[in-house]
Chain A
Amino acid sequence: MGWTHIQTQTASNDSEIDFDDPGFTTDYHEYLFLVTNYQPVTDSKHLAFQVDVGTGTTYGQTFTSSQFTAGHGTNDAWSLLENHGGQSGDAGFQQLSYGGEALSNYPEMGVSGYLRFFDPSNGVHIKHFESVFNTHYKSGTTEYIIDYRVAGYVDTTTAITRIRFEPKDSGNLGVGKFAMYGLS
């Protein structure tokens, strides 16, 4: 059986986007979030997420993750392959993408990618996730593509129930589609 579409939300100057009804349930073993043509309202604000284990807590789970970035400039004078360290037992929002300078000047540019969760509703294991997001932006006369990859886990054996996306640190989610899929 293939991926089942659960719900799609479209950003419209929102401080955050929540998937909690339905959120993560035992109906699906894996979950996939496809983010398409996302732009923050404020330039250079990275996309990030947090998860929760109930309905009355405050999206403060701890993440341990690794992260690396590849980049390329269309002037062929700049490229990048770099480990950025990730997070270590950090209860802040997990960064998913590079923000990108001057995105607001170029509506055709932005961020697309996916976040995949493995068995988030189990009550035995920690919760693995992986993500790949690429950012297309322009700085000066050069366009750039930044490939931002994260792999890690949420350090809880309690079932995860819901997820929240927001810009890392501050600002609103400007535009972009956030689609949730499940795999039995």
Chain B
Amino acid sequence: MATKAEHITTLKASHSSLHRQVNGVRVALSDSEYEAKIDAWATANAATDVRNALIASGGESSDYAALRTDSMVDGSYPSIPDQLDMLFHDITDGKLDETGSWYLAIKATKDKFTKP
């Protein structure tokens, strides 16, 4: 996971200049615009690193509720149809307790993305 300063170094190495297209004409960003853009990108990339690490490994986050419910996130709650299927099997198996598949699936998500 890179720091913002490390991202700035990497971005400047890979983008010696930046261009904007305005009404079909490609113009180079001024020095101040370039520095501001690189700084904004580095800030965003560092934040993305933090979020990706959280998604990969889990942990405490003020964004825990969104992470738990975003189905594009690995480890989020199962879909509603899948949860209903789990409940059906848990009822069939007499496991409407802490050993049931639904309880364990929900607990796994809550344990991965925890409330601060």
Contact = CB atoms under 8 A, between A and B. Distances in A.
A and B assemble together: yes
B20 A7 contact: no
Interface residues of B, number: 23
A18 interface: yes
Interface string A4-18: 000111011111111
Interface of A is mostly: loop
B70 interface: yes
B5 to A, nearest CB: 15
B22 A18 contact: yes
B19 A13 contact: yes
Contacts of A21: 22-23
Interface residues of A, number: 23
Nearest to B41: A170
A171 interface: yes
Interface of A: 7-9, 11-21, 80, 82, 84-85, 98, 169-172
Interface of B: 15, 18-24, 26, 29, 37, 40-42, 44-45, 47-48, 66, 70-72, 79
